[in-house]
Structure 1
Amino acid sequence: MSQRFFSVKGVFVVKIATMSSFQPKTESCQKNCTSGATRKHGLALRIRPQVLECVPLKFCADSGQSLRVIRHSLMKIKTRFAPSPTGYLHVGGARTALYSWLFARNQGGEFVLRIEDTDLERSTQQAIDAIMDGMNWLNLDWDEGPYYQTKRFDRYNTVIDQMLEAGSAYKCYCSKDRLEKLRENQMANGEKPRYDGRCRDSHEHHAENEPCVVRFRNPQEGSVIFDDQIRGPIEFSNQELDDLIIRRTDGAPTYNFCVVIDDWDMEITHVIRGEDHINNTPRQINILKAIGAQVPVYAHVSMILGDDGKKLSKRHGAVGVMQYRDDGYLPEALLNYLVRLGWSHGDQEIFSIDEMKKLFDLDAVSKSASAFNTEKLQWLNHHYINSLAPEYVATHLQWHIEQEKIDTRTGPQLSQLVKLLGERCKTLKEMATSCRYFYEEFDEFDADAAKKHLRPVARQPLEVVRDKLAAMNDWTAESVHHAIQATADELEVGMGKVGMPLRVAVTGAGQSPALDVTVHAIGQTRSVARIEKALAYIANREA
């Protein structure tokens, strides 16, 4: 895979890739690149030795904003979603994935899926499957991957060995007991726990096979400043950062190091992630600089809060993405809701996927936390149930019908059912649990509805409307309506005196969609038979 790297030297941007020889394209490039960039970034040139092109710039490369412009103009935008498979794909992760995906699509770039499974004890295949299921259900497709960090350990260790050779990293032989005592003493003195650098410049001799970790040689002076595209400039003093372990005693590389190499190798230009990663950023930037790699643009998204103002968690009812599928939400509704949890475009609330891709901009993402509101999600879901094509909604409804074990071989098509129940139902699960009478017989009438409407006074209206429905040759909702109206006219009673007993008779309950379309959907034979059943119920009640 081709690799790229931008190093500012004077007024030049150096673009480097994995090649076998170093050949600047012009004499000017050779003068500027070989004299400065190779000395400053020797490690990078050993790993990625050929300069493909040197592009003269017309403005100061020290400006973070200018550098962002450089990247946008010279590099293909590439984002990534990199979850750890230690649990389900929660709504916060889904929003991060959505923002990364939308930014890539908006910029005509690429979106990478990467599974950060370095935590071997907690990572599970079940969690990986849940992540994949969630991404697929949300239709967040990826252009590369999924990559797995556990399959790239050789690559990480190769770079670590090169860093050891270059002096950017060193071996640390401090025992666990020493480090624990160091931590205890620092905390007792009110100091921030951190490694004291004992092995940083040690010349002690150690056996080749003596257990050790490898630490990154973090700069001890200066600051790390990065221009967060959501939060603006953020600065960390290097004195606050200790020498991070990048390889454990068992030879496994650590998370913060793997992330850096992955973003470098995969040519990630924009890292969009949760604000809980802000403190990781200065360490990762220092490692990137040490190996001469390009520092991507960072954008840290604020957390999602529960209704009590605290971070959304299980105690707020926070669940995995697929639980929202199970609860009857459409992916379009959840995506629309998640995109508005921190991003806005004027006062607009409803966004199609195409509109999101066209309008999404990181500069419009708020740095303030957002509160999760289930009622608003339900409102959006109700909107999409009724605005999307019934045939499409029916494909999602089918899963819920199967969970309810409803046999739909007789009765209305599911697309018709969506039209019938869409206005009454906020979720597809609610629709599935309330549609059984369209397809299957019920054993009993709702007790309250029957007590109120299946009384002796209802016998005559039911008999008359039964005869009219049974005699129909043209079974349409309109003809059903005429039969109900004709019965009321013939008996000189209000429509309710006919309609309410008829509704209880054919549905078994006191509520349903419009009666004419409901009776039509249930079907002529089944409707007449159910009226007979209701008449028998009334007769038994009279006896």
Structure 2
Amino acid sequence: MSDSSVVTRIAPSPTGAMHIGTARTALFNWLYARHTGGKFLLRVEDTDRERSTEAAVQVIFDGLAWLGLEADETPVFQAARADRHVKAVDEMLARGSAYRDYMTPDELETERTNARAEGRVVRSPWRDHSPNDAPDRPFVVRLKAPIEGETVIDDQVKGRVVFQNKDLDDLILLRTDGSPTYNLAVVVDDHEMGVTHVIRGDDHLNNAARQTLIYQGLGWAPPVWAHLPLIHGPDGTKLSKRHGAQAVSEFADMGYLPEAMRNYLAKLGWGHGDDEIFSDEQAIGWFDIKDVVGAPARLDWAKLNHLNNHYIRQADPARLAGLVAAIHRSRDFPLHDGHLAQLAHVIPFVRDGAKTTLELADATVFALSRRPLAFTDKARELVVNDETRARLGRLRTALAAAPTWDVPTLENVNRGFAESEGVGMGKFGPALRAALSGGTPAPDLAGALVSLGKDESLARLDDALSLGG
């Protein structure tokens, strides 16, 4: 499929961390743009000037960059377009699709009270006044919404949604200070950015009706609407702090890889048959917004962990080494210049069981620790037993004679040693692991030996054999 006219956008407000729901919305917009050969744009809705700090904007950029969702054009900042928003309202006033409302605060409160009592929406008496009747006092500008008929949203996810116009109020377009409101700014910006498909959370579905009326008031064609279901916690309730991470930065800090997050987020409300693991290229080829399901998706930590483990096992060891080194530094673990190369060497032996890069970091501590190791009490007990110590000494001799230092050879050495001793691996395996790691997590025996290298492995065995009882 190719339709270069398709333009999607993500329009977050820089008022806090980037929520996982916003990240999923960004991904679906990105996927649909890539699938159709169109454009994916970014607009920062920074009209809340107090909260829209430079640092808050950077959170958005960092979150999208970490996810690998790059916009195709320079980001648009909504606050910088206020003059254009006001000009659009002037056009609506000229067309008669908007009007100046001079109700005082007291008059507005009275109208609200009457509207509630009568079961209707607020309607200003200034709606049908001539502009020549304007008094000299503050005013807002309202949309002159139709009172009769229906506004229909043909939503790509929700289906046909009908709003009765009598239930849609004359929403404010410009406040008394002349500043534009959210719905107006969104319509003007989407139109002038050429946005053809508005893909966003279904908490904006009601806004779609109001924004459609603004499009009509300006004589513009509305975009294609697609409102995504919310993401719920594992218990089916609205996602909240009690369910764990919510922000993209939290998932990064918890050791999840961006490619795992892209794969996982794509599965939250969309899928391709029974495929659980797929590449970005496959997702782009398969994705269609019409295939998004309307029911809320549930955050499933077990599935996320499974995916992350898959991508950890597939990742370049050198890349993982950089991530793991950063984790060690954050924990004040002493690293030296050679540790990055050492981590890249060790990681292939320890990553199979790691669900996150934090667990991967835990699994590499044994290889980075300096001799003599600090033994845990349990590890010390394993190696100071006289019978075990003697057996470890004989094993050391067998290992030192290994013709090559690789996993198959060392597995054969260990099995051959067990046969020669007439015992199972359980009689010396735990003690060997303790001697190599001091009691910290370590991979299987042959993997641990190869991770450390011959000289370091034999030196650690010598240290263990010299421990006092």
Match among 149, 160, 164 for residue 93 of structure 2? 164
Match among 117, 124, 127 for residue 200 of structure 1? 127
Deviations 1:486-521 (A, max 9, x none): 544554443333322111011112752121221121
Deviations 1:117-141 (A, max 9, x none): 1222333333321211111111111
Match among 176, 179, 182 for residue 255 of structure 1? 182
Alignment of 1:152 onto 2:94: no
Q: Secondary structure at the match of 2:353?
A: coil
| Residues 75 and 462 of structure 1, relative CA distance in 2, 3 Å threshold | closer
Q: Does the CA-based 8 Å contact 2:312-2:351 persist in structure 1? A: yes
Find the counterpart in structure 2 of residue 428 from structure 1. 357
Match among 485, 506, 528 for residue 458 of structure 2? 528
Find the counterpart in structure 2 of residue 368 from structure 1. 295
Alignment of 1:319 onto 2:241: no
Q: Does the CA-based 8 Å contact 2:347-2:364 persist in structure 1? A: no
The residue type equivalent to 1:144 in the other structure is E
The residue type equivalent to 2:251 in the other structure is Y
Distance in 2 between residues matched to 1:338 and 1:74, nearest whole Å: 25
| Residues 517 and 253 of structure 1, relative CA distance in 2, 3 Å threshold | same
The residue type equivalent to 1:131 in the other structure is I
Q: Does the CA-based 8 Å contact 2:436-2:461 persist in structure 1? A: yes
Q: Secondary structure at the match of 1:163?
A: helix
Q: Post-superposition shift, 1:142?
A: 0.8
| Residues 473 and 103 of structure 1, relative CA distance in 2, 3 Å threshold | same
Q: Which moved more, 1:311-320 or 1:410-419?
A: 410-419
Find the counterpart in structure 1 of residue 380 from structure 2. 450
Match among 229, 233, 246 for residue 302 of structure 1? 229
Q: Secondary structure at the match of 2:106?
A: helix
Distance in 1 between residues matched to 2:37 and 2:359, nearest whole Å: 39
* 1:268-417 pair list within 5 angstroms: 268-406=195-333, 407=335, 409-410=337-338, 413-417=342-346
Distance in 1 between residues matched to 2:379 and 2:187, nearest whole Å: 66
Q: Secondary structure at the match of 2:41?
A: strand
Distance in 2 between residues matched to 1:372 and 1:478, nearest whole Å: 41
| Greater share of residues in helix | 2
Q: Does the CA-based 8 Å contact 2:198-2:224 persist in structure 1? A: yes
Q: Which moved more, 1:238-247 or 1:379-388?
A: 379-388
Q: Does the CA-based 8 Å contact 1:118-1:254 persist in structure 2? A: no
| Residues 394 and 533 of structure 1, relative CA distance in 2, 3 Å threshold | closer
Aligned alpha-carbon RMSD (Å): 2.4
Match among 447, 450, 459 for residue 389 of structure 2? 459
* 1:32-181 pair list within 5 angstroms: 76-181=5-110
Distance in 1 between residues matched to 2:410 and 2:171, nearest whole Å: 77
| Residues 472 and 404 of structure 1, relative CA distance in 2, 3 Å threshold | farther
Find the counterpart in structure 1 of residue 446 from structure 2. 516
Distance in 1 between residues matched to 2:329 and 2:214, nearest whole Å: 52
Distance in 2 between residues matched to 1:249 and 1:121, nearest whole Å: 19
Q: Does the CA-based 8 Å contact 2:382-2:434 persist in structure 1? A: no
Q: Does the CA-based 8 Å contact 2:151-2:164 persist in structure 1? A: yes
Deviations 1:75-108 (A, max 9, x none): 7010011111111111111111111110110000
| Residues 391 and 173 of structure 1, relative CA distance in 2, 3 Å threshold | same
Find the counterpart in structure 2 of residue 53 from structure 1. none
Find the counterpart in structure 2 of residue 191 from structure 1. 119
Q: Post-superposition shift, 1:308?
A: 2.4
Q: Post-superposition shift, 1:525?
A: 3.2
The residue type equivalent to 1:528 in the other structure is L
Q: Secondary structure at the match of 1:128?
A: helix
Q: TM-score when scaled to structure 1?
A: 0.80
Q: Post-superposition shift, 1:413?
A: 3.6
Match among 404, 415, 431 for residue 501 of structure 1? 431
Find the counterpart in structure 1 of residue 161 from structure 2. 234
Distance in 2 between residues matched to 1:457 and 1:184, nearest whole Å: 90
The residue type equivalent to 1:92 in the other structure is G
Distance in 1 between residues matched to 2:440 and 2:91, nearest whole Å: 76
Q: Secondary structure at the match of 1:506?
A: helix
Q: TM-score when scaled to structure 2?
A: 0.92
Q: Does the CA-based 8 Å contact 1:330-1:396 persist in structure 2? A: no
The residue type equivalent to 2:119 in the other structure is E
Deviations 1:377-399 (A, max 9, x none): 11111111123444444454443
| Residues 408 and 439 of structure 1, relative CA distance in 2, 3 Å threshold | farther
Q: Does the CA-based 8 Å contact 2:383-2:465 persist in structure 1? A: no
Q: Secondary structure at the match of 2:37?
A: coil
Q: Which consecutive unaligned segments of at least 5 residues does structure 1 have?
A: 1-71
| Residues 310 and 461 of structure 1, relative CA distance in 2, 3 Å threshold | same
The residue type equivalent to 1:359 in the other structure is W
Q: Secondary structure at the match of 1:422?
A: helix
The residue type equivalent to 1:150 in the other structure is A
Distance in 2 between residues matched to 1:475 and 1:505, nearest whole Å: 18
Q: Does the CA-based 8 Å contact 1:454-1:504 persist in structure 2? A: no
Q: Does the CA-based 8 Å contact 2:18-2:248 persist in structure 1? A: yes
Distance in 2 between residues matched to 1:387 and 1:190, nearest whole Å: 64
Distance in 2 between residues matched to 1:226 and 1:106, nearest whole Å: 24
Q: Does the CA-based 8 Å contact 2:373-2:437 persist in structure 1? A: no
Q: Does the CA-based 8 Å contact 1:77-1:107 persist in structure 2? A: yes
Q: Secondary structure at the match of 1:379?
A: helix
Q: Secondary structure at the match of 1:200?
A: helix
Distance in 1 between residues matched to 2:402 and 2:294, nearest whole Å: 65
Deviations 1:344-391 (A, max 9, x none): 211111111000000001121111111111111111111111234444
The residue type equivalent to 2:377 in the other structure is A
Q: How many residues align?
A: 464
Q: Does the CA-based 8 Å contact 1:500-1:510 persist in structure 2? A: no
The residue type equivalent to 2:426 in the other structure is G
Distance in 2 between residues matched to 1:520 and 1:89, nearest whole Å: 42
Distance in 1 between residues matched to 2:59 and 2:448, nearest whole Å: 39
Deviations 1:518-538 (A, max 9, x none): 11211333323322332233x
